[in-house]
């Protein structure tokens, strides 16, 4: 049974990725897609990749603040290479990168695996909170648009009934999770408890403000990376920041759906941009350009990191 579960966990995202790649390329031919790649302004793409690298350097540096209270002073180079190795490994098996990153820190910095993995989970809590804040900001920024979007498709009575129905389901779900002893409810309680505990632990850190600054900086670089890359295609000239934010949010969730967002990333951007009446082909091409540039960067720096880690630490020894 466990083996079957592992096969599904590994195989399902891969299968979904293959299906979405096929779907995406059925909507835009490869020659047409290549035309967009050829005429793209690569100065903006390189700038976007640079912002991506800066975010990952900041992520590697941020982890040092979490290791210090545990009594460890890891090298920034090892933390940086561990981050890129983790991103690369996530392309093979989803979420395996976090385990690999903790293992690398154990092997080369002597940080016990459980403690290293715990700090990585706490990092994810901070990242989740920032992503939720970005979503709330996008909803606030585009409240009128979102309201009008639903108003055009549903009448006011349907929206009100739907709103109350959703609220009722949330309350019902909360009561179920709080009282139920099922495995699902226990897992959700554990997750929420860990989320709250992880968030509170940030404020107990010695360098909490530096940690918070780097967390905001990381996600600012992500959004900026997304935004400047949109300038690479003249068809997307004048794109609103709201469209960028919605595209960024959907693309962020798409990465969890398939290995490294293959197939799902471009289609998530298409869905977001179509809401703002942007042309479909350039939106899809932008999604592939964005995904390809970041993937190439991860493959190159992740591959170098995996190869250079033992060499770097042998020299230090």
What are the DSSP E strand ranges found in 99-184? none
H or E segment to which residue 170 belongs:
helix 156-179
Position 157 scores a pLDDT of: 67
Report how far residue 86's alpha carbon sits from residue 112's, in angstroms, rounded to the nearest whole number: 17
What single-letter DSSP state applies at residue 182?
Answer: S
Q: Is 14 exposed, middle or buried (0-12, 13-18, 19+ CB in 10 A)?
A: middle
Position 194 scores a pLDDT of: 57
Report how far residue 212's alpha carbon sits from residue 208's, in angstroms, rounded to the nearest whole number: 6
- The string of pLDDT tens digits covering residues 21-45 is 898 888 988 899 999 999 999 999 9
Residue-wise over 212-237: b if at least 16 C-beta within 10 A, else e? bebbebbbbbbbbbbbbbbbbbeebe
Position 292 scores a pLDDT of: 94
CA distances from 152 to 11, 142, 156, 273 (A): 40, 15, 10, 18
Residue-wise over 81-93: b if at least 16 C-beta within 10 A, else e? bbbbbbbbbbbeb
Report the C-alpha dihedral over residues 214, 215, 221, 227, rounded to 10 degrees: -150
Position 146 scores a pLDDT of: 65
Contact between residue 198 and residue 126 where contact means Cβ atoms under 8 Å apart: yes
Report how far residue 154's alpha carbon sits from residue 208's, in angstroms, rounded to the nearest whole number: 46
Contact between residue 284 and residue 30 where contact means Cβ atoms under 8 Å apart: no
- The string of pLDDT tens digits covering residues 230-257 is 999 999 888 888 889 999 999 988 887 7
> Which residues of the chain fall below pLDDT 50?
none
C-alpha torsion sign, points 87, 89, 92, 94: negative
Position 47 scores a pLDDT of: 96
């Amino acid at each position: 049974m466990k083996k079957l579960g592992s096969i599904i966990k590994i195989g399902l995202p891969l299968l979904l990725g293959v299906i979405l790649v096929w779907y995406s390329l059925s909507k835009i031919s490869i020659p047409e897609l290549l035309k967009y790649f050829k005429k793209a302004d690569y100065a903006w793409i390189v700038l976007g990749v640079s912002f991506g690298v800066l975010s990952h350097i900041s992520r590697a540096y941020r982890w040092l603040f979490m290791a210090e209270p545990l009594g460890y002073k890891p090298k920034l180079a090892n933390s940086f290479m561990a981050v890129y190795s983790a991103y690369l490994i996530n392309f093979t098996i989803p979420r395996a990168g976090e385990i690999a990153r903790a293992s690398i820190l154990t092997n080369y910095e002597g940080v016990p695996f459980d403690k290293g993995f715990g700090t990585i989970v706490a990092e994810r809590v901070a990242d989740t909170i920032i992503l939720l804040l970005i979503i709330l900001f996008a909803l606030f920024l585009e409240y009128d648009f979102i309201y009008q979007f639903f108003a055009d498709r549903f009448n006011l009575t349907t929206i009100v009934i739907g709103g109350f129905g959703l609220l009722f389901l949330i309350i019902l779900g909360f009561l179920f999770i709080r009282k139920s002893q099922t495995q699902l409810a226990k897992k959700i309680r554990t997750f929420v408890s860990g989320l709250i505990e992880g968030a509170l632990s940030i404020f107990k850190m010695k360098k909490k403000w530096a940690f918070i600054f780097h967390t905001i900086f990381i996600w600012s670089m992500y959004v900026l990376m997304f935004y400047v890359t949109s300038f690479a295609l003249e068809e997307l000239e004048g794109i609103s920041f709201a469209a960028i934010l919605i595209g960024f949010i959907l693309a962020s969730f798409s990465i969890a759906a398939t290995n490294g967002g293959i197939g799902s990333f471009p289609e998530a951007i298409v869905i977001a941009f179509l809401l703002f009446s942007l042309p479909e082909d350039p939106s899809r091409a932008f999604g592939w350009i964005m995904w390809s540039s970041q993937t190439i960067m991860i493959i190159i720096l992740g591959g170098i990191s995996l190869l250079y880690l033992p060499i770097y630490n042998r020299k230090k020894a």
